A and B are shown apart, each in its own frame.
Chain A
Amino acid sequence: MFFLRRLLGMAIVLLAMSFVVYGLIGLMPGDPIDLMVMSNPGITAADADRLRALYSLDEPLVTRYGHWLIAALQGDFGFSRVYAQPVLDIIGPALWQTTKLVALTLVISSILATALGILSALRPGGKIDTLVSFISFAGISLPSFWLALILILTFAVWLGWLPASGMGRPGEEGFLGNARFLILPVTTLVIANIGGVTRYARSALIETLRMDFIRTARAKGAREPRVVLRHGVPNALSSVITVIGMNFGTLFSGALITETMFAQRGLGKTIYDAILGNDYNLALVALLFATFATLIGNLLADLACAWLDPRISVI
C-alpha cells in the first residue's frame, strides 16, 4: 500500500513538474520559428505562419502540453533542436555518465562519512570530534564550482597529474585511462556531499549510544569496539541512509556543477547546454529524467532503510 502510494506520488510530482516546466519554456527567449527564420532568410512571414500552424504553435498552451504529454506517454519525447536527434538518444548516454559519477560519489562519501561520524561520536567534544566537525562545516560551505577550479588549478595546471576536463575516448586509453577523468569530478562531489552526511551520522550514533540496549551490551561485558560497531552503527545506519536518500536532489545539483566544470556530457551538463542553446525540448525531457532519477533514488533509500531496519515497514 505504502509502495503504491509512493509510486502515485512520484507520478503526480512528474506530471506537475512537466506542466510547470513546459509552461516556463514558453517564456524563454527565442521562438523556434523565429530561430528558423533567422537561419534561413528565404522564409517569408506567410511561411512562418504556416510552419507555426504545422507545429501547432498557434494553439493555446494547455492544448500543446496535451499533445506533448500524449506523445510522451507513448514513448515519443520528440527531437533535440541542436543535435537533430531524438532526445532519448542524447539522454541515454548522459544518464549513464551521471549515474557513474553519482554512484561512485555515493559509495565513497557514505563510507567516509560513516567512518568520520563514528570517530567523532566516540568522544563528543573531543579533539577528533572538533576536527571532523570543522571538516564537515568546510565541506558544506565550499562553493563546489570553486572547489572544482582549485582542484583543476592544483592537480591539472600546477602538478599536471590529472586531466583538467573531458571524459577520455572509449576503447583508446583503456578503462584505467578513462577512469582518470573521473577522479577530480568525484573528489569535488564527495567533498561537497560529505559534510552533511557526516553530521547526521555523528548525531545519529551519539543518540543511539545513549540507548538502553547499549548499556545492556556494555553490562554484558562486550568490549567497546564491539558495542559501537555491532550494536551502535547498524542502528544508526538507517537514519544515515534516510539523509542520503533525501539528499539525492542536492547531489544531482552538484553533478550539474561538476559536469559543467569538467566538461563531462552528463545529464546536468546536458540540461545546462540545452538551456543555453535554446534547445528547450531536450532541456525539458532531461530535467524530467533528472527528477525521475532523483525520486527513484529517494525511494530506493527508503526501501534500503526498511530492509536494514525491520521496525520500518514499507510494503
Chain B
Amino acid sequence: MNALAIAVDNAPWQRRWRRFRRNRTALSGLYVLVALIVFSLAAAPLEALLGIDANNADLLSRFDGRSATNWLGHDELGRDVLIRLMYGGQVSLGVGIAATLLGAVIGISIGLAAGYFGGNLDALLMRFTDGIIALPLLPLLIVLAAIDLTKLGFSADFARSSAASFYRIVLIIALIDWTRIARLVRASTLSIREREFVLAARVSGAGTVRILLRSVLPNVIAPIIVACSQVLGSVILFEAVLSFLGFGIAPPTPSWGNMLNNAQELVATAPMLAIYPGLLIFITVIAVNFIGDGLQDAFDPRAE
C-alpha cells in the first residue's frame, strides 16, 4: 500500500481522535484511567521497594496508622492498605476489561447474526436480548455465582482457588453484559448489509463467514468500541458489588469490591478502610463513563 492509501485509510480515525481530544472531560477521563492502570501495575515494584509483603497478616499491627513503609496504614488483619489497593486495582480492572471483551464477542456474534440474516432469527434473537435486558440482573448474577463448581466436574482445589473465582466472575458478567453491544451491532449490520460492497463480495463468490468477517465487521467497529466503553463502567460496578457481597473474587486476593467486605462492621472504627476502595471504584467508573461519552460524540456519524 502506498503512503496516500494509508493516509486515506487512517483519515476517519484521525478525525475521531481529533474530535475526542477536543472534549476536555473525555480527555481527562483518559488521563485518569491511564494513571489508575499505572497505579495498579506499580504494586509489585513498590512492594519490593518498600520491602513489605501485602498478603502477610500481622495481627500486632491491626489498624496501625501510616508509617514510612506503610503509606496508608494497615487493615483489620494488619496488611498494608496501599499495596492491597494497587493489587485490587489489577483485579478489578482486569475483570472489567476481560468481562467486557468476552461480552463483546457474544454481543458481536449475536448482533451480526441477527442483523445479517434477519427474518425469524433476528426476531428471536432480539426478543431474547430484550428479555435479558428486562430482568433483575443482580439477583440472577448471585444465583450464577453461587453455583458449586465441583458439581460441574471441577476439582475441589480449583473450585476454592482465587483463579476460579476470577474466571467465574468474568464469565457470568459476560453472560449478561453483551446486550447493548448486540443491539448496536445489529442496527449497524442492518444498514451495512444493503451496501454495494457487500453485494459485490457476495457476487464475487465470498462465503457468508468471509463476508461477515471481512466486509461487515470492519464497518461496525466504531459502534462496538463506543458500546464497549459504555459497558465497561457497569461491569466494574457489577464486579465490585458481587465481590462485596461475597460472590465475586475470593479473599485473600484483593479486589476493590472485596476489600469493602468487612468495611460495614468496621465503618465506625476505621472509616478510611471503607473510603479508599470505594473512592477508587468511583473514580475509575466515572473516568470510564466520561471516555465512553466522549467516544460516542467523536464517533457520531452525524459529525463526520
Cross-interface CB contact of B138 among A140, A146, A257, cutoff 8 Å = A257
**Residues of A close to B60: CB separation below 8 A:** none
- Cα A260 to Cα B282 with chains together (Å): 20
- Cα A17 to Cα B135 with chains together (Å): 9
Q: For the side of the interface on B, what is the size category?
A: 35 or more
Instruction: Using known A-B contacts A145-B260, A149-B264, determine if residue A28 contacts B135 with beta carbons closer than 8 Å.
Output: no
Cβ of A249 and Cβ of B134 under 8 Å apart? yes
- Cα A17 to Cα B146 with chains together (Å): 17
Cβ of B135 and Cβ of A138 under 8 Å apart? no
The stretch of A19-27, A47-55, A168-176 that contacts the partner chain: A19-27
- Cα A8 to Cα B267 with chains together (Å): 48
- Cα A144 to Cα B290 with chains together (Å): 19
**Residues of A close to B264: CB separation below 8 A:** 149, 152, 261
Cβ of B260 and Cβ of A140 under 8 Å apart? no
Cβ of B134 and Cβ of A27 under 8 Å apart? no
Cross-interface CB contact of B260 among A25, A141, A149, A249, cutoff 8 Å = A149
Shortest C-beta distance, A94 to chain B (Å), equals: 13
- Cα A143 to Cα B136 with chains together (Å): 17
A145-158: contact bitstring with B at CB < 8 Å (1 yes, 0 no)?
A: 11001101100010
B137 CB–A CB distance under 8 Å? yes
Cβ of B139 and Cβ of A287 under 8 Å apart? yes
Shortest C-beta distance, B158 to chain A (Å), equals: 15
Cβ of B136 and Cβ of A153 under 8 Å apart? no
- Which of B140, B260, B286, B290 has the most chain A CB within a 10 Å cutoff? B140
Cβ of B139 and Cβ of A256 under 8 Å apart? yes
**Residues of A close to B139: CB separation below 8 A:** 252-253, 256, 268, 271-272, 287, 290
Shortest C-beta distance, A10 to chain B (Å), equals: 9
- Cα A228 to Cα B186 with chains together (Å): 36
**Residues of A close to B289: CB separation below 8 A:** 137, 140-141
Cβ of A283 and Cβ of B241 under 8 Å apart? no
Instruction: Using known A-B contacts A145-B241, A149-B263, determine if residue A21 contacts B285 with beta carbons closer than 8 Å.
Output: no
B245 CB–A CB distance under 8 Å? yes
Cross-interface CB contact of B290 among A17, A28, A137, A271, cutoff 8 Å = A137
Cβ of A27 and Cβ of B148 under 8 Å apart? yes
B147 CB–A CB distance under 8 Å? yes
Instruction: Using known A-B contacts A140-B233, A275-B142, determine if residue A248 contacts B134 with beta carbons closer than 8 Å.
Output: yes
Cβ of A152 and Cβ of B267 under 8 Å apart? yes
22 examples of A-B residue contacts, CB within 8 angstroms: A13-B134, A13-B135, A16-B131, A27-B147, A141-B237, A141-B282, A143-B281, A149-B260, A150-B274, A150-B278, A153-B267, A246-B134, A248-B134, A249-B137, A250-B137, A253-B137, A260-B245, A275-B142, A275-B143, A276-B246, A287-B136, A287-B143
